[in-house]
Amino acid sequence: MIEWLQWFCLIPVVGGSLFGLLCLPAALWFCRDRAASAASGFSEGQWPPVTVLKPVYGLEKDLKANLRTMCLQDYPDYQVVFSAQRSDDPAIPILHELQREFGAGRVTVVVKNLQAGMNGKVNNLIGGLTEAKHEILVISDSDIRVRPDYLKAVVAPLADPAVGCVCTPFKAVNAGCWYEKLELLSMNADFIPSVMFALTTGASNYSNGQSITLRREALAKIGGLESLAEYLVEDYEIGRRIWESGKRMAVPPYFIEATVDLKSVAQWWSHQVYWDQNTRFAQPGGFAATVLTRSVPFALLYACLRLMDPVGLTVLGGAVSIRLVTTALILGRIGDREGLRSLWLLPLRDVTGLASWALAFTQRTVVWRGVEFVLTRNGRLVPREARS
């Protein structure tokens, strides 16, 4: 039995190590044409007007600084709509400060408590959309920090009529304590390399809720925001419907930054499981298969089964070394200095990542903004009390 388990452990050890080695050239290939991607698109003087929808909920770390970057875009004509659902939301004074700084012509503040479904973010976006002035919409999360060329980078692909939606990869930033650093590594050292591999090889599509750009007409054709209000993973649902409509999803090699903001170890762990649940419901087959890429925890189990003998320690050392080296090179390529400084935590992140992966299969409930929901098989949200 023990010998059989040892052989079983070697499958993800080898598979994960090979996957890490393959992710490296995929990342280099994905990032190769950053300058060319940014330069393509609409001619100067022909950039279409844009409305940016920014749903806001509560006071987040660096909230004002992050929101302010969207008001400093090098773009000729754009509107920023900050939306909140409650009149007592503590973020509202910050929104009005930004409106006074940049003017009502640039910044619109909307407070509307609309309830089209269980997804609070979508409800918030619906309120913001009522004040949107322009045809091209950019949906951007409140924890995102962008450079002045962001709008040109995400609008440029829409010059191609075959493109229905534009998403951008992100890297986590501003991690303070150790569990925030684990969160950063989950995104930058695990999720994003997998995304770049999938995009480069065509293994799967990618739709990221941190930044989605599309035409209002395209949004209407896929059912509008109201039709997304019951889904947990609304960004994936947008992407899926865009693909099914015959349009293409564009993902330029342009990285935005997402601020890590966690108040406790419990919140970090809850978010890890929540993230894995999102991925599982969006792509169940692909999520299950990721167990074959988790080299470090299975190498550790292999070494333990061999009572840390020389063979077991060699396998463990080899798996950890390949993981650290390939990840360091990828993080260097995307300019993630924080991730490089936190690499010593990567083995721990990989072990906890396997645990959250397993829990995602056993739990059908998620806690979101203090409310517990039951997930249906098609990824819809149902309040727990409604199912009891």
CATH number of the domain encompassing residue 74: 3.90.550.10
Q: Per the domain annotation, does 28 fall within a domain? A: no
Mean pLDDT on 14-42? 82
Residue 118 and residue 91 in contact, taking contact as beta carbons nearer than 8 Å: no
Of the pLDDT bands very low, low, confident and very high (cuts 50, 70, 90), residue 378 is low
Q: Per the domain annotation, does 285 fall within a domain? A: no
Of the pLDDT bands very low, low, confident and very high (cuts 50, 70, 90), residue 388 is very low
Mean pLDDT on 266-279? 88
Q: Per the domain annotation, does 50 fall within a domain? A: yes
Residue 14 bridge partners (DSSP):
none
Q: What totals of helices (H) and strands (E) does the chain contain, helices first? A: 17, 13
The alpha carbon of residue 158 and the mean position of all alpha carbons in its chain are separated, in whole angstroms, by 21
Q: Per the domain annotation, does 32 fall within a domain? A: no
Q: Per the domain annotation, does 205 fall within a domain? A: no
Q: Per the domain annotation, does 134 fall within a domain? A: yes
Mean pLDDT on 280-292? 85
Please tell me the pTM assigned to this model. 0.89
Tokens found for residue 72: 């400093």
Would you say residue 382 has pLDDT above 70? no
The percent of residues in the chain predicted with pLDDT above 70, rounded, is: 92
Residue 271 and residue 226 in contact, taking contact as beta carbons nearer than 8 Å: no
Q: Per the domain annotation, does 244 fall within a domain? A: yes
The chain-wide mean pLDDT, for the chain, equals 90
Residues spanned by the domain of 61? 43-176+210-259
Lowest mean pLDDT among 4-13, 80-89, 191-200, 374-383: 374-383
Count the domains in the chain.
1
Q: Per the domain annotation, does 354 fall within a domain? A: no
